[in-house]
Amino acid sequence: MPMKQGSSCAIITPMTNEGKLDIPSLRKLLKFHLASETDNLCILGTTGEASVLNMEERAQVLTTAVEEVKGKIPILAGTGTIKPEAVREMTLQAIELGCDASLVVTPYYVKPPQRGLIKHFTDMADIGLPVVMYNIPGRSQVDLSVESTVICAQHPNIIGLKDATGDLDRVQQIRQSLAAEDDLLLYSGEDGTSSEFVMRGGDGCISVTANVAPKAIHDLMMASLAGNAELAKNINKPMLDLHKKLFVESNPIPVKYAAWRMGLISTPYCRPPLSNLDAKYYNDVETAMEAAGLFGFGDGTNVVVPSNAMSSSKQNRSFSP
């Protein structure tokens, strides 16, 4: 199934207090997204703690996603890492398990030159699964240039770019530089600016906030794609603080806490070297959740809340990190 415009949730990977995969919670999350009009699902990205999962665990997560989604929305599997051989292995696994596309990050730490990045992405696209490139200089310490993006886009199997540079001018530069016939999908990787990104020529977002407010993020993307700035602003306003507070510590620590407080997952556990949310940030995250209507308080615009959500942000903190 081809990737769509709109909201792609960079979904968390639920775990037990012992650090094992929590497949029942994952199934609940996937059902939540199907009911909330999420347009694409990004599985095993940074938010999904892919770097601390082995191949068997990856297979469990991807198999569960494919089984639950049943072809209703596209599945974008994160297969990027520093070693091309490992990217190839994970991409072949994603093909075998029935995923629709792969999210391949710029190789981090080694800081390859632009010609190395171009070769990396085109080599991975040659494997056969459609590729969404992922440019996140803040984590990878290398920036895929506009010129390199345009060169990569000429490969028939490179279908998109997730841009987490934070540079809103970049989307216009890329769109204007692409050949007229090139329909490269441009996704924002920054929740706080995703609406403006889309109205400047983007196609949607790959969102962390969508883990807990999927319907609102879907509606935000639809309004932005339609060029309805006023509606987009009204949808986004209750979530502005949430976008920020979900990054008070390293992703996905805060969003797992938020999802747990909503009753979406059984624990907020993050595998080492990450840890659970520092208690000093509980109120910050919960206050932002209330403003976004995620506890049944606040505006609640376009937010679908599961039936077992916590009734108050200040109670029921039964988990001890």
| Calpha distance 202→189 (Å, rounded) | 11
With tokens 């939540």, the residue in question is 32
Question: Among 234, 186, 168, 214, which Cα is nearest to 7's?
Answer: 214
Q: Which residues of 3-41 are buried (b: 16+ CB within 10 A; e: fewer)?
A: bbbbbbbbbbbbbeeeeebbeebbebbbebbbebbbbbb
Q: Give the burial class of 165: count Cβ atoms within 10 A of its Cβ; 0-12 exposed, 13-18 middle, 19 or more buried.
A: middle
Asked if residue 64 belongs to a known ligand binding site, the reply is no
| Calpha distance 83→295 (Å, rounded) | 42
Three-state secondary structure call for residue 118: helix
| Calpha distance 36→314 (Å, rounded) | 26
Q: Which residues are catalytic?
A: 134, 162
Asked if residue 206 belongs to a known ligand binding site, the reply is yes
40-43 and 75-78 beta bridge pairing: parallel
- Which residues are annotated binding-site positions? 47, 206
- Which residues are annotated binding-site positions for pyruvate? 47, 206
